[in-house]
Amino acid sequence: MKLKKIAIVYNEQLSHSIEIKNKLKCLLDDKYNICSEFFDIDSLKSGVDFVFVVGGDGTILKTSRYYAKYDIPIFGINLGRLGFLSQSSAEDLEHAVKKILAGEYKTEDRIMLQYGNITALNDFVIKGSFTGRTSRFSLKINNKKVCDYLADGIIISTPTGSTAYGLSAGGPVLVPSLDAFVIVPICPHTLTARPLVVPDSELITICSGKDDDKYFLSADGQEFSEFHSEINIHKSKYTVKLALLDGMEFYSVLRDKLHWGISPAKI
């Protein structure tokens, strides 16, 4: 499908974002004669066929949550540190644009989490109101109690988010195509509390220790909500459509960006 209108989403708080987004627009408008429009990360709009995101993973996460409901492909150009969700560096910009416009890419649908009207591509993180103190949580799946946790918090992660906070907290890495979620307790006060992988069709309920306790939920570390008793988390009806170039499959990204299985002496 020929792309007629392209959005360029950027985060002006990141160094070089203005320079790179201007370079990208010149390529699209002048060299390929394709209409493009700038959108700041806080002023997103629909009505486009494709989205280039100039920034780090945080910029891509926010952009993804917005465009998921429009089923529009998203392609990340990394200006951050790790850039695990990005497909191109700024140095490879021209090559990436050429491939995208030639249709030499594939799209991969990534599942999301939902709580109320809040969605997350990476994860929901639930913590108590007192920083530095453990809190009590109860976990139910499909309205059946599973266990209680005394922990610093709980992470509910998608396969996409399994390489983020969940991995740092001791959770497993899931291949993005899996239809599953990961439940990871953060610093639990018991050796028997281990990460739990569940099908994405399950209803996950997190209950606070007491009805008057204040708990907080963050979506991708960017959107925040407060609750007192319990919350129900389930699979979102929307998916994020990530555009992927050849040679950037999940396993190569895992190896190249996380140095998976590489001896420390070689890093």
Give mean pLDDT, residues 238-250: 87
How far apart, in whole angstroms, are the C-alpha atoms of residue 67 and residue 50? 10
pLDDT value, residue 255: 80
How far apart, in whole angstroms, are the C-alpha atoms of residue 119 and residue 238? 9
Phi/psi at 38 (5° precision): -80, 140
The domains of the chain, with CATH numbers, are 5-103 (3.40.50.10330), 114-236 (2.60.200.30)
State how beta strands 105-115 and 88-89 pair: unpaired
Q: Catalytic positions, please?
A: 57
pLDDT value, residue 132: 66
State how beta strands 204-208 and 230-245 pair: antiparallel
Position with higher pLDDT, 181 vs 212:
181
Tell me the pLDDT tens digit for each residue of 29-64.
999 999 999 999 999 999 999 999 999 889 999 999
pTM of the model: 0.91
Distant-in-sequence contacts of 39-43, Cβ < 8 A, 24+ apart: 39/7, 39/8, 39/9, 39/10, 40/9, 40/10, 40/11, 40/12, 41/9, 41/10, 41/11
CA atoms within 13 A on the CB side of 51: 32
State how beta strands 223-227 and 215-219 pair: antiparallel
**pLDDT confidence band for 12 (50 / 70 / 90):** confident
Give mean pLDDT, residues 194-216: 89
Dihedral sign computed on CA atoms, order 199, 224, 45, 54: negative
Position with higher pLDDT, 86 vs 194:
194
pLDDT value, residue 78: 86
Position with higher pLDDT, 78 vs 196:
196
CA atoms within 13 A on the CB side of 201: 0
The answer to whether the CB of 34 falls within 8 A of the CB of 6 is yes
| Mean pLDDT for the chain overall | 90
Closest CA to 66 of 43, 96, 35, 91: 43
The first and second tokens of residue 88, run together, are 């191109």
pLDDT value, residue 211: 61
The answer to whether the CB of 4 falls within 8 A of the CB of 34 is yes
Q: How would you class 179 by CB atoms within 10 Å of its CB: exposed for 0-12, middle for 13-18, buried for 19 or more? A: exposed
Give mean pLDDT, residues 15-23: 89
Give mean pLDDT, residues 159-164: 95
pLDDT value, residue 98: 94
Lowest-confidence region among 24-38, 199-213, 232-246:
199-213
List, in sequence order, the alpha helices (H) in 14-152. 17-26, 57-67, 93-101
Tell me the pLDDT tens digit for each residue of 112-149.
999 999 999 999 999 987 666 788 999 999 999 999 99
∠ CA(173), CA(80), CA(113), 5° rounding?
45
pLDDT value, residue 175: 95
CA distances from 218 to 120, 155, 222 (A): 9, 10, 6
How far apart, in whole angstroms, are the C-alpha atoms of residue 61 and residue 121? 7
